[in-house]
Amino acid sequence: MPSEFFDARATLECGQIFRYEKLAENRYAVFSADKSCLLCTEGDTTGIYAQSCDAQYFFNFFDLSTDYGAIASALGVYGELDEAIKIGKGIRILRQDLVETIVSFIISANNNIPRIKKIISRLCQLAGKRQDGYYAFPTLDEMYLMTFADWQSIGAGFRDKYLFETVRALKETDVIERIRSGQTVTKTLLSLKGVGPKVADCILLFGLHDMAGFPVDTWIFKKCRTDILDTPAKVHDYYTERYGKYAGLAQQYIFYGAKEQSRN
């Protein structure tokens, strides 16, 4: 696929996924649930090479049926996004496993990406099945068997009690069904231990592919705050309304653009 609107680095390094390994410039091993693929951007083309399943899984995972050029054009009417879209237009919003997303973003709270990746890797090694050269993300049933001491052992810090309790809620109640039903989703997510407004928006965007959310982390708040928009909640509400159904992709453009500019 032409890489203008599907770039390996931009898609994987914009903060939406933690289970990937950089093998070389624009060449990555990507893991989702119990599956893996090789993702490469070479010249004007990005290719996906499925290693553990048929290609259809990753066709859906990378949202290849969606016209991101059209979405970028729709967001292009907002002049403040010009530079961010130019930098990040190769981003695609991944269609990730819901349970994996919930657990991963609880781990992400008040954390940095290298440490998040290490914690998730330890979780996979502890409870996930050994695959061909990697460990699968543990299923809900496998995580349900973990003791509180097991959660402590992966180095999640204060999040260990949230993870332990949330896995039990996901297994023992109808929370997942209520989330997938599309009714009172945010309220249901916020009922889970370790899920605050930002994490809930991340789960909506990356686990349910609801692009109407606008997660506000430190980077986004720093980039978007003004004298009037002086709290994360105000930033969230303003830009959720401003960008509408594509607010989540706009957020990823802003986040990735800010990170890239900080490197220069």
Mean predicted lDDT score pLDDT of the chain:
94
Residue 172: is its pLDDT beyond 70? yes
Least confident of 180-189, 208-217, 221-230, 233-242: 180-189
**Would you name the residues annotated as active-site residues?**
198
CB of 72 closer than 8 Å to CB of 55: no
3 state SS of 241: helix
* Span 209-226, pLDDT tens digits: 999 989 999 889 999 999
* Span 116-142, pLDDT tens digits: 999 999 999 999 999 988 999 999 999
* Span 73-120, pLDDT tens digits: 999 999 999 999 999 999 999 999 999 999 999 999 999 999 999 999
Fold of the domain spanning 3-95:
TATA-Binding Protein (3.30.310)
Domain ranges in the chain? Answer: 3-95, 98-207
3 state SS of 42: strand
Q: Which residues of 26-50 are buried (b: 16+ CB within 10 A; e: fewer)?
A: bebbbbbbbbbbbbbbeeeebebeb
Q: What is the pLDDT of residue 264?
A: 66
Share of the chain above pLDDT 70, in %: 98
HSE of 14 in the Cβ direction (CA atoms, 13 Å)?
A: 31
Residue 171: is its pLDDT beyond 90? yes
How far from each other are the two terminal CA atoms of the chain, in whole angstroms? 28
Calpha distance 1→190 (Å, rounded)? 38
| CATH 1.10.340.30 is the classification of domain 98-207 | yes
Q: How confident is the model at residue 53 (pLDDT cuts 50, 70, 90)?
A: low
